Chains A and B, each alone.
Chain A
Amino acid sequence: MKCELCHKADAETAIRREVGGELQELYVCQGCARQEAAAAAPPDVDAEQPVAGGMGTVPLMGMILDAAFEIVGRAMNRAEPACPACGILRHEYRKQSRLGCPACYEAFARELDAAIFDLHRARQHVGKVPQRAQALCQRRQLEARLAQAVKEQRYEEAIALRDELLRLPEPDAAKGGPA
């Protein structure tokens, strides 16, 4: 598995950092782990200062972070999210960099969306739509236009859009289209 920060070196360790008020776990290389630790250290703490009392070269900041990660890690593992469809746990898919099933994209959407943006520099699919999903896409577009028309009190247009929606065939999820 590649480092989730630089995407170049192999990931060798896990770090946790707060993003948008939520603690995220990332698998990173040693270089990025050191940079993250340095960035997390308060300016008045010398991370390389050996601990008094003969602890040798173990850095104080490293010990604090290790302890914090262990406590938070245990707490996170107890509530580790799982995909409701296939049961895969977050750490399991992260270890292999492969998801369990199509429903994992919804189950782990919060962290996957950031990773997907990092990988592709895009958030929205552009391109081929399977034949079976085209009706559903059309339905969604009409629904959005209907909501906008109602919001802007364009009632004649809204009625026309509603009628158009009613004429569409019912989506048949079991036969394909969106997972």
Chain B
Amino acid sequence: MMLTSEAQDAPRPALPEQAATIAMSCRVRLARNLAGERFPDWATERDRERVLNAVREALSAEAPELRVTPVAGVEEQDRDMLCESHLISKELLERAAGGGVAVAKDGSVCVMVNEEDHLRIQGFAQGLDVAGAWRRADALDTGLERHLAYAWSPRLGYLTACPSNVGTGLRAGVMLHLLGSSLLGEIEPVVRGLERMRLLVRGIGGEGSEAAGQIYQVSNMDTLGTDEAGIIRRVTRICSEVVRQEHNARVRLLQETPLVLVDCLARSLSVLQNARLLATAEALEFLSALRLGAAMGLCTRLKVSDVDALILMMQPGHLQKGLGTSLTSDERDEMRAEFLSRKVARVKLKC
């Protein structure tokens, strides 16, 4: 099945409840820079500190609950956890000098300071609520602009370090779990269709990453020439079409090739219950299959939200934090296998 057209303005029937978990989460990011300041890549440490202080003051006036913490002052495990939760990027961690982060307690908004741009304001939401994520980021942005002089031009809009973000500076991304389409061998046409419609398709880890566990991040390519609401509508509309296709793929999988589906689930559950060593990437592959089984109601004692929690908890930073100790890579694989085997010990397949 292919995404052939984006002329999908006509009202479509509501998505079935089972499809709700295909879109795992969404994020809207606004790139902003301060007028008269060098972009972080070319700024001196003193420049970056000045920007960090300006943002800190603006946030304390506008959103006191968002306290800026310098990245250099965050413990390594906490930094990994922020990264694994997709709140901050690896790029921010790599440029510790002058880098800062402020995260809301409920995780609904987050501000990165001195990453690629001076400010990366991010709003988060569950499922396909892209508009909700945008509203959160936009409200904070509007508040901050009362205190900060943004670099903006009437012709090019918000000026960013990389011209690929200029204009609205808005990137709206949805995390999609597309294992059903993948098992049917239909993922490539879907990805090609999305790219033809000028959407970026990336893996779970963002730019340059593989789609481990068949989890894809889909986001808008163009940031100039369409207003914010238009970008949000377009991403939502196209992603909901992908969700619909994935749902149909899952239904066909069950009807046409049930053995392929059940085999995939049984093997994955068996490995998770019995393995003694599990690396992050392979654990993600098996958890992805289990997530599909839970979403299709084929597993006992397992909800999709349980699997989502396991996907987070089994990652290096979270795993070590949970155990309260630092581990080598081999030790982590052993602990991960033990942790997951314990968590899925009572899970059974219904088929």
- Which residues of A does B touch, CB under 8 Å? 86, 88, 96-102, 105, 112, 115-116, 119-133, 136-137, 140, 174-179
Closest chain B residue to A115, Cβ basis = B163
State whether A178 touches B162 (Cβ < 8 A): no
Q: How far is the CA of A112 from the CA of B223 in the complex (A)?
A: 15
> Which of B157-195 touch A at CB < 8 Å?
157-159, 161-164, 166-168, 170
* Other-chain contact of A124, B142, B155, B230 (Cβ < 8 Å): B155
**Pairwise interchain contact B152-A130, C-beta atoms closer than 8 A:** yes
Please determine whether B39 and A98 come into contact, CB atoms closer than 8 angstroms. yes
**New A-B pairs, 4, CB < 8 Å, besides A112-B163, A131-B146, A179-B35:** A101-B42, A125-B224, A126-B227, A140-B154
Whether, in the assembled complex, B94 has its beta carbon less than 8 Å from a beta carbon of chain A, the answer is no
Chain A residues contacting B146 (CB-CB under 8 Å) are: 131
Query: In the bound complex, do residue A130 and residue B145 qualify as a contact, i.e. CB atoms below 8 Å apart?
Result: yes
Closest CB in chain A relative to B167 CB, distance in Å: 5
Shortest B224–chain A CB gap in Å is: 4
Contact (A122, B42) CB under 8 Å given A131-B146, A175-B149, A176-B149: no
A118 to chain B: closest residue by CB: B163
Cβ contact within 8 Å between B149 and A177 = yes
Partner of A88, one of B42, B159, B163: B42
B38 at interface (Cβ–Cβ under 8 A)?
yes
Could you tell me which residues of chain B, from 6 to 41, have a CB within 8 Å of some CB in chain A? 33, 35-39, 41
Asked, given contacts A96-B41, A100-B42, whether A121 binds B225 with beta carbons under 8 Å apart, the answer is: yes
In the complex, B226 has a CB within 8 A of chain A: yes
Chain B contact residue count (CB 8 A cutoff): 42
Whether A120 lies near B149 (C-beta < 8 A) is no
Residue B97, interface by CB 8 Å: no
The 5 closest A-B pairs by CB, nearest first: A122-B225, A176-B149, A125-B157, A102-B151, A127-B227
Q: Which residue of A lies closest to B35 (CB)?
A: A179
Closest to A174 in B: B149
Report Cα–Cα, A132/B153, bound state, in Å.
Answer: 12
- B162 and A99 within 8 A (CB): yes
B interface: dominant SS = loop
Partner of A86, one of B38, B116, B164, B198: B38
Q: How far apart are the CA atoms of A115 and B163 in the complex, in Å?
A: 8
User: CA separation between A176 and B58, bound complex, in Å?
Assistant: 14
Question: A98 and B38: CB pair below 8 A?
Answer: no
Query: Quick check: B154 and A137 within 8 Å, CB to CB?
Result: yes
Q: What separation, in Å, do the CA atoms of A4 and B188 have in the docked complex? A: 25
Partner of A98, one of B41, B170, B222, B223: B41
Residues of chain A contacted by B37 (CB below 8 angstroms): 101-102
- Smallest CB–CB gap between A89 and chain B, Å? 11
Q: How far is B198's CA from A130's CA once the two chains are assembled, in angstroms? A: 27
Could you tell me the distance between the alpha carbons of A74 and B106 in the complex, rounded to whole angstroms?
56
Which of A97, A100, A179 is within 8 Å of B36, CB to CB? A179
Assuming the A-B contacts A121-B222, A125-B224, A128-B168, are A179 and B39 also in contact, with contact meaning beta carbons closer than 8 angstroms in the complex?
A: no
User: Given the interface contacts A98-B41, A102-B36, does A179 sit within 8 Å of B167 by beta carbon?
Assistant: no
B61: interface (CB < 8 Å): no
A146 to chain B, nearest CB (A): 17
* Minimal beta-carbon separation of B234 from chain A (angstroms): 13
Q: Could you list 9 A-B pairs, sorted by A, with CB under 8 Å?
A: A102-B36, A105-B156, A112-B163, A120-B224, A124-B225, A125-B168, A127-B228, A174-B149, A178-B35
* Of the residues A100, A116, A126, contact of B166 by C-beta under 8 Å: A116
Least CB distance from B13 to A in Å reads: 31
CB distance from B170 to the nearest CB of A (A): 8
**A120:B225 contact, CB within 8 angstroms:** yes
In the complex the two chains form, is A176's CB within 8 Å of B150's CB? Answer: yes
> How far, in Å, is A132 (CB) from chain B's closest CB?
7
In Å, the complex CA distance between A88 and B38 comes to 10
**A174 to B149, alpha carbons, bound, how many Å?**
8
Report the bound CA distance from A101 to B47 in whole Å.
12
**Nearest CB in chain B to that of A141: its residue:** B154
Q: Given the complex of chains A and B, what is the CA–CA distance between A86 and B227 in angstroms?
A: 30
In the bound complex, what is the Cα–Cα distance between A174 and B230 (angstroms)? 32
Whether the pair B153, A125 counts as a contact (CB closer than 8 A) is yes
A116 surroundings in chain B (CB, below 8 A): 156, 163, 166, 224
Q: Please, what's the 1-or-0 string for B241-267, where 1 marks a CB less than 8 Å from any CB in chain A?
A: 000000000000000000000000000
* Chain B, range 105-153, C-beta contacts under 8 Å to A: 116, 138, 142, 145-146, 148-153
Known contacts being A116-B156, A178-B152, A179-B36, is A122 close to B145, with CB within 8 Å?
A: no
- Rounded to whole Å, the gap between the CB of A28 and the closest CB of chain B is 17
A132 and B155 alpha carbons, distance in the complex (Å): 16
- Which B residues are CB-close (under 8 A) to A129? 152
Q: Mark B197-235, 1 if CB is under 8 A from A, else 0.
A: 010000000000000000000000011111110100000
Q: Which residue of A lies closest to B231 (CB)?
A: A127
